[in-house]
Amino acid sequence: MSAVKPRFQSFRWTIVLVCVIALSSCRKEPEAWSASEEHPWASGGSQTVFDVGAGAFSHGFPQMSATANALHDIGDMQFEQTFVSSPAPVNPGLGPLFNSVSCTSCHVGDGRGKPPMAGEQPISMLFRLSVPGTAAHGGPLPAPGFGGQLQPRAIFGAQPEAQISISWSEEPITLAGGEVVQLRTPHYQFTDEYQTFPVGMMTSPRVAPPVFGLGLLEAISDADIRSRSDEGDADGDGISGRTNEVWDVAQQRSSIGRFGWKAEQPTLLQQSAAAYNEDMGITNPLFALESTYGQPQFDGVNDDSELTDSVLHAVAFYVRTLAVPARRTTDDPLTNEGARIFSAAGCDRCHTPEQRTVVNVAFAPLSNQRIFPYTDLLLHDMGAALSDGRPTFRADGNEWRTPPLWGIGLTQVVNGHQNFLHDGRARTLLEAILWHGGEAEQSANAVRTMSRPERQALLAFLGSL
């Protein structure tokens, strides 16, 4: 690979305009939110849709121009494309090592991934790798011979880096009223390594997070995010969220991290480019080197970028303009009682209900939206039980970014499971709550000791989001 510095190509607007005509007849038409965008039921402000089915996470913004709709649909098509090894007439460049063959392989229905079943290899779950120390710009130091991510699949003629198996142990937790919940802990084993793992290698399992609503989160100002940070816990409430400061490849500067389980990516463009490069082995304008560069399986070929700038931007635009499903059952007394309990237990101190996007005269659909994502986008210490022991920029092993809760009640409908937390260990929302430690331990204890009807109300509220 000859180019180390990212190369940017211009958008191919001729292709876009042709596709506008081709796609105009097959545009998805979700039911748009018709009430005031100031209403708290409208989770995504004016970019909220009504859909409680399997496609709930896959609608574009209901309020966009025809040109923006067309670009969204182009990105949608590319998000679904399957890559193959070169040479090939369509979508070449897969590998030589990879995790998945398409974006939708991990983000099924634009939703949440899960751990593999017994005997399966991970598809919508991956493992970050590093060794002690820091790379350029303060990021994790890639593991020699393996890089920053374990790739258990390979094209013909190459060897997967390793295979992964997961076993589970369970511990019963007795709650007030006698209810018993089994909390399961994952245990990972790596076999068939193509070479010996380096000494001190650290691993971090990650299931694929949902991708809807991310453009609205990207549109929250840095100042608003920083204003909620309380790194030294100055107010004494036990909550000390802080920003992750990461490297923006396109801007060549440090920036607030917003995306990923540890807020390690600053923008959706970089998040998309990094996924193409690490998950599929696809070089692109932001990451011009093969993921195997510097490793024994690097092919040494100085080939061109395998993904054009226009396609990369279209995919990032697709993710940026995915709408948010509306809250449900908001007139139910049980749900409303659950909302009160959520606040009383202190859950809203990290899962901040409301945010406001910045004024954006260049792209009105994202401008000045009152949204309800239930996240502060900050890092929080979640305790030793959830620690991966692996630093990522400023985030230490115990710290994780507060995940948004909007749409969480539709996970079963869209993805057919209810696996939560960064590694999917929780099989229900209640299990996910009980795993909370560190800064969230007080809230988890409140849930343990509350009455069963109160817990049911809390879960009903979460299910309505």
Using only the alpha carbons of the chain, give its radius of gyration.
22
Q: For the sheet with 125-134, list strands across it.
A: 140-141, 125-134, 202-207
Alpha helix positions (H), 162-308: 214-218, 222-227, 268-280
Kindly state the DSSP code that residue 114 receives in the 8-state scheme.
-
Task: Say what the pLDDT of residue 17 is.
Answer: 31
Retrieve residue 268's tokens: 């959706």
DSSP 380-431: EE--GGG-----BTTB-TTEEE----TTGGGHHHHHS---BSTTS-BSSHHH
Retrieve residue 67's tokens: 């040109």
Whether residue 200 contacts residue 131, with contact meaning beta carbons closer than 8 Å, is answered with: yes
Whether residue 358 contacts residue 220, with contact meaning beta carbons closer than 8 Å, is answered with: yes
CA-closest candidate to residue 96, choices 337, 269, 326, 297: 297
Task: Say what the pLDDT of residue 304 is.
Answer: 78
**pLDDT per position in the chain (465 positions), as tens?**
333 333 333 333 333 333 332 333 334 444 444 434 457 789 999 999 999 999 999 999 999 999 999 999 999 999 999 999 999 999 999 999 999 999 999 999 999 999 998 888 899 999 999 999 999 999 999 999 999 999 999 999 999 999 999 999 999 999 999 999 999 999 999 999 999 999 999 999 999 999 999 999 999 999 999 999 999 989 889 999 999 999 999 999 999 999 999 999 999 999 999 999 999 999 999 999 999 999 998 987 766 789 999 999 999 999 999 999 999 998 899 999 999 999 999 999 999 999 999 999 999 999 999 999 999 999 999 999 999 999 999 999 999 999 999 999 999 999 999 999 999 999 999 999 999 999 999 999 999 999 999 999 999 999 999
Q: List all residues 6 or more positions away from 433 whose beta carbon is below 8 Å from its beta carbon.
A: 443, 444, 447
Is the pTM here over 0.75, yes or no?
yes
Residue 439, CB half-sphere, CA atoms under 13 Å: how many?
27
Distance CA 148, CA 151 (A): 10
Task: Say what the pLDDT of residue 9 is.
Answer: 38
Task: Say what the pLDDT of residue 130 is.
Answer: 98
Retrieve residue 340's tokens: 């009160």
Distances from the Cα of 332 to the Cαs of 248, 329, 337, 379, 457, in angstroms? 44, 5, 9, 33, 10
Handedness of CA 206, 211, 217, 218 (dihedral sign): positive
Question: Which residue, chain included where needed, has tokens 């004494």?
Answer: 236
Query: Partners of 184 in the beta sheet?
Result: 170
Task: Say what the pLDDT of residue 202 is.
Answer: 98
CA-closest candidate to residue 246, choices 139, 326, 347, 358: 139
Task: Say what the pLDDT of residue 180 is.
Answer: 97
Distance CA 448, CA 337 (A): 17
Helix axis angle for 309-320 and 13-23, nearest 10°, is 50
